[in-house]
A and B are shown apart, each in its own frame.
Chain A
């Protein structure tokens, strides 16, 4: 039976009936929608805008690093006029504004960019389709989740415009600094950068909590008939584990944020130690609090958050690789198990972010050990992807280009993390550009490339049209080169001792370091900045391609990539309720190149034929 043609026939019938039944107004359909696909796209568009905005903040910082204290032409004065002289004084960046940009770059990129796009957008759009569900279990909760995210994001943005500007305490908001920042004369009690950061954060946490509950409940309850756990695509597994991380790791941070809010607004001393002196005067507080408590609660979220950022990316890459190598994903069971172990272990490694706090050797030994162990599942996942490429007749489509690039980039990011896991090596590398390079290799050319792969891959499902291939490649190659040109030199800068929060880019430090090593990383600042700005330009083809293709892209059928999973049996774009008849899964997710078949892909909905061997999970041998 040819599943694809029968489904597309039915699609037409359904479209006609759908029009008769419910004609939703613009607001109900696109703004206050409860449809998981619309919410997914809302998340995608909003998240991409925030990603670009976060990148713009970084491009501004790169000016200050490349040309410390020099006037930024045109834009500098514009920003100065918009945000006041406290930001760009006569076009020259103030240290406070630099700190705001740094803190907000981190916050926006992680919590308003990557998480909404990689987790919420793809999860919302793809997961129900892949498991054969009509929608998420709780559509209204889903809508509330997006709205909480949106309002939280707006509060973060508004904080740029309040007196004193946005939060300056770094994305980690370490106390006691963050407790006492943006306070005093000239600052509002509520409408100041740090307090708005906290309030915005509570909304973002609420949003991901609602999202996480929805995802897990959907995957448990709404799998189609025959969609057993080991027939789930790896992407669904990745989202499942991610949702658990968000569900359980975010609330302790929420409690910490409530406490910091109490410290700032009600005058408590949760994170303020006894005898705290600020600017030479003792602060009138009860004291008795612990700055370390904040760090523990923050990193209890902070480390699982790393896997929240990378796991959805891994899921996307798994789908794209299986589809474009035309063979089953190698080691499906190991991948699933590795993702589960990764999720569990990510809860007991957090203190490796705190080596400098002097926790003592026993605690350090424990967290070094767990940190070493967590590299095992990561390596399993990456190895399985690499081996999947082996012997495949690879189609280098645009999504596959991004997915292939993900592998070495994530590899570099992961391997350079190992020195940081040891507390002796970290004492030296802590808070240097080495750390910056390490985690950006994971998140930027790692997750963001996976996100691009996912956008190019599922775009035909969302719109019925393909994005342009040529411009996709024009987007890919410069992005890949620029990513490396930005982050590779940072390893060198970091190993030469350049601190990540220096507002002058290490101008003052460079003399000393030249004396000590005869070297300085300072001269790398300009090339890195040029690469960053070039990468900004390199995103223009993507932006144009994305919006142009929605209306003018090449029209394609419901399964343009000849993929096997359930979302490709639904019409493109899928109607409300997704499937015309409830789908049934008869086999595993990656049945490519089954021997003795006319086509090189067998969809999950195709029943097992009598002469076929028993429905099997993806093979685990190399010789496929």
Chain B
């Protein structure tokens, strides 16, 4: 006896095997990312006022990446439809575009967004020293507005060696715009367009600092969650790209000649996974970039 329903649907369930499999897999993926998102909620609700940062990510780039992913979700459906109509060349083109979109997303993420964070610097000011840095923080103004206080000064670190060298007593920071004019709401985050750190320098005494690092996963729980979730999401994008490439290369042509419906099924299953990866990003984007 051979295993039935690998390509054609079982009459009473209306499904072929792999389709059942992928939906079950996606259910478990929902729970996996659900666990991470619930950690995000848990940690964010637990954070002390002012300790959950806002607007540190580059919104236009994130928006662009969102558009790229959504476009790729459309092209993968077009690729599948082309296969269903037995138009192999069109399938090749659309699948090629999908793969390119996936790669573009990863390149933007790994070659631009993450490194930009690694070069950004933040220093958490000790509660006792907040008064001293009032000109940068503008907490009196925030208090009168009923807003949570600022406890961190961020920007471009001019003396990198200060991170390791104990003999250097202060950090030389090219301030992010908001700290140059802290009471002006127009300067506040989030900005839609990315605003680079200014040339205005602040000297922050190490003795006044609780903790100062570049924007790494160790910097705070916000970045810990950000890097973990986008990292895991990136791995999923990579997985999708690998599977698509496999179906796009000569293997796809061979399977197409043997059993075009089988290839269409595989593309459908891989496409379902791709839509899920897309959907996760639709949650990641507002949670980290906008809220």
Contacts and interface: CB of A to CB of B under 8 A. Distances in A.
Interface of A: 133-135, 137-139, 141, 209, 212-214, 216-217, 220-222, 247-256, 258-259, 262, 266-270, 274, 285-286, 288-290, 293, 296-297, 300, 577-579, 582
A213 B25 contact: yes
A577 B1 contact: yes
8 contacts: A141-B21, A213-B25, A216-B20, A247-B31, A252-B31, A255-B39, A268-B228, A579-B1
Nearest to A247: B28
B169 interface: no
A592 B224 CA distance: 60
B71 to A, nearest CB: 29
B5 A290 contact: no
Contact of B24 (A213, A252, A579): A213
Contacts, number: 143
Contacts of B21: 137-138, 141, 213-214, 217
Contact of A248 (B10, B18, B28, B43): B28
Closest 3 CB pairs of A and B: A255-B35, A252-B35, A134-B1
Given A134-B2, A266-B217, A268-B224, A288 B46 contact: yes
Contacts of B24: 212-213, 216-217, 247
Interface in B35-53: 35-36, 38-39, 42-43, 46-48, 51
A267 B217 contact: yes
Given A212-B24, A258-B232, A259-B228, A288 B221 contact: yes
Given A137-B17, A137-B21, A270-B224, A221 B31 contact: no
Interface residues of B, number: 43
Given A217-B24, A253-B35, A293-B39, 5 more contacts: A137-B17, A139-B3, A248-B31, A286-B218, A577-B1
B221 A289 contact: yes
B212 to A, nearest CB: 11
Contacts of A579: 1
Contacts of B20: 137, 216-217, 220-221
- Do most interface residues of chain A lie in helix, strand or loop, or is the interface mixed? helix
B213 to A, nearest CB: 8
Nearest to A136: B3
B39 A578 contact: no
Contacts of B224: 262, 266, 268-270, 286, 289
Contacts of B51: 288
A286 B220 contact: yes
A254 B32 contact: yes
B4 interface: yes
Nearest to B16: A221
Contacts of A255: 32-36, 39
Nearest to B5: A221
A222 B35 contact: no
B269 to A, nearest CB: 12
Contacts of A267: 217-218
Contacts of A213: 21, 24-25, 28
Interface string B39-78: 1001100111001000000000000000000000000000
B218 A266 contact: yes
A262 B31 contact: no
A268 B43 contact: no
A248 B43 CA distance: 23
A222 B3 contact: yes
B15 interface: yes
B13 interface: yes
B28 A251 contact: yes
A268 B221 contact: yes
B268 to A, nearest CB: 16
A259 B18 CA distance: 31
A258 B18 CA distance: 28
Nearest to B225: A270
A137 B23 CA distance: 14
Contact of A254 (B1, B27, B35, B211): B35
A286 B25 CA distance: 35
B218 A251 contact: no
Interface in B206-242: 211, 217-221, 224-225, 227-228, 232
Contacts of B188: none
A291 to B, nearest CB: 11
A251 B221 contact: no
B68 to A, nearest CB: 26
Nearest to B220: A286
Contacts of B42: 290, 293, 296
A577 B3 CA distance: 8
Nearest to A252: B35
A251 B39 contact: no
Contact of A289 (B34, B38, B43): B43
A252 B27 CA distance: 12
A286 B43 contact: no
